[in-house]
Amino acid sequence: DVKVTQSSRYLVKRTGEKVFLECVQDMDHENMFWYRQDPGLGLRLIYFSYDVKMKEKGDIPEGYSVSREKKERFSLILESASTNQTSMYLCASRGRPEGGGYTFGSGTRLTVV
């Protein structure tokens, strides 16, 4: 079964820390995405990548960066964590050609204290 794996299910970090969220997919998908999901705001796209070392900003990139050194791995970095970054973070991947939607990881619930 195809899988998108996020390294942590729950994470608690302190304000100002640098936080790394890891996502690995085993489907050889070119496209990978990071979203955050907050009550009442829905899914908001932070960054996405359509190829190794390629990245594009989504709708809310401020305070975040990403890294994609290998096709299967897409990392989200919170440069200096703040309490307003407390959220559910979801990684997703999608292949080419178009043949279905995203496959999501199980999510990381991040709390910044």
DSSP for 48-102 reads EEEETTEEEE-S--TTEEEEEEETTEEEEEESS--GGG-EEEEEEEE-SS--S--
Question: Measured from the CB of residue 27, what is the shortest distance to other proteins in angstroms?
Answer: 13
Question: Measured from the CB of residue 16, what is the shortest distance to other proteins in angstroms?
Answer: 28
**Site for other proteins, rule CB under 8 A:** 31, 33, 40-43, 45, 48, 50, 56, 58, 90, 94, 96, 98, 100-107
Q: Which is nearer to other proteins, 14 or 42 (CB)?
A: 42
Distance CA 19, CA 75 (A): 10
Angle at 76 between CA 71 and CA 79, to 5 degrees: 140
Q: Which is nearer to other proteins, 14 or 97 (CB)?
A: 97
Q: Which is nearer to other proteins, 17 or 51 (CB)?
A: 51
Question: Measured from the CB of residue 64, what is the shortest distance to other proteins in angstroms?
Answer: 16
